[in-house]
Amino acid sequence: MPFSLRACVNSAGARLSVITPDSDYGTDGYVSKHRVVAYGLYDLPVGRGRQYGSSMSRWADFFVGGWQTSFNMFAKMGTGFTPFSICDDCNPIEPGNIGISSVDAVGDFNSEPSYRPTVLNNTYNQHVGGVIFNAAAFGPPSVAADVFSNPNVAKRNLLWGPGTWGANLGVHKDFHATERLVFQLGADVDNIFNHPLLSPDANVGGGGGTFALLGDFNIRVDQTTGKLLPVAASDIIPNPFFGRLINSFTQEGIDSRRTIRLRVRITF
């Protein structure tokens, strides 16, 4: 029996056309092009036999000398995000008459059915204050048979998110009460500079979050022909949080805000 195949969705949820398979290549999600991670220990040069205070008394050295610091930090570029819209009433009718309600524009299958918008111009990465994506650069999703193959449909991970950095610092010292009894006192400061980590995680930046969500839309059917009508402006509910940097996210071992932990460890 003769048949034709136009498009399908691959296991990662990315748009895939068997006619133009090169149309949806892009960077992988949540992978930075450049990322630096560093950690280490440093003995403070203060105390008996050290650069500073080498002649201090034993009592002074007991409290002041011999402290050690530890640190870990990271810095990375931003990662890719896929703009998408959620269809509120696409059941049983679907854009493109594809007849499936598990279509996912992002690839993590958190909110279905979701669709990628059409790109109106190249100002989508325009930064204005705390908003880093320009919603006006996108139009509603296509509802025609080219829902997957339209060259103006947004590519996977088209948007580029913010880079970020953070650092932790610890200070500690061992106090030898006897040959075997050791008390370690110290403090660990997570995110010591209280720097906001603005690169969204998968919960906020993925298909279940608001960061790359343009909004919701409804579809209408021509009552005479039964065909889907193009999505009108009145059928769109914009997401006011699209592209807004309003949260700090724990990542790379750095807390989302400055926190201080005191520690006491006894070894015997």
- Measure Cα distances from 236 to 50, 87, 182, 219, 256 in Å: 69, 9, 66, 9, 34
End-to-end Cα, the chain, rounded Å: 80
Burial class (CB in 10 A: 0-12, 13-18, 19+), 55: exposed
Query: Is the pTM of the predicted complex or chain greater than 0.85?
Result: no
- Residue 130, pLDDT > 70, answer yes
User: Percent of the chain at pLDDT above 70?
Assistant: 85
Q: Using an 8 Å Cβ cutoff, are 255 and 190 in contact?
A: yes
- DSSP class per residue in 167-226: EEEEEEEEEESSSS-EEEEEEEEETTT-----S--HHHHSTTSSSSEEEEE--EE-TTT-
- Provide the pLDDT for residue 23: 57
Range 155-167 average pLDDT:
92
d(CA 22, CA 98): 21
- Provide the pLDDT for residue 14: 42
- Provide the pLDDT for residue 119: 94
Instruction: Work out the pLDDT band at 170, boundaries 50, 70, 90.
Output: very high
Q: Which of the two residues, 234 and 97, has the higher pLDDT score?
A: 234
Q: What is the pLDDT of residues 17-46, one digit of tens each?
A: 544 555 566 677 788 889 999 999 998 898
- Residue 5, pLDDT > 70, answer no
Q: What is the pLDDT of residues 217-250, one digit of tens each?
A: 988 888 888 778 888 888 899 999 999 999 999 9
In three-state secondary structure terms, 239 is coil
Burial readout 154-188 (b: 16 or more C-beta within 10 A, e: otherwise): bbbbbbbbebbebbbbbebbeeeeeeeeeeeebeb
From 180, 194, 202, select the one nearest 267 (Cα to Cα). 180
Structural domains of the chain, count:
1
Range of the domain at 232: 1-268
Q: What are phi and psi of 137, to 5 degrees?
A: -80, -5
- Residue 13, pLDDT > 70, answer no
Residues 6+ away with beta carbon under 8 Å from 247: 198, 200, 204, 256
- Provide the pLDDT for residue 7: 37
Strand partners, 238: 215
Residue whose pair of structure tokens reads 């075997």 in the numeric block: 180
- Residue 9, pLDDT > 90, answer no
Range 55-65 average pLDDT:
81
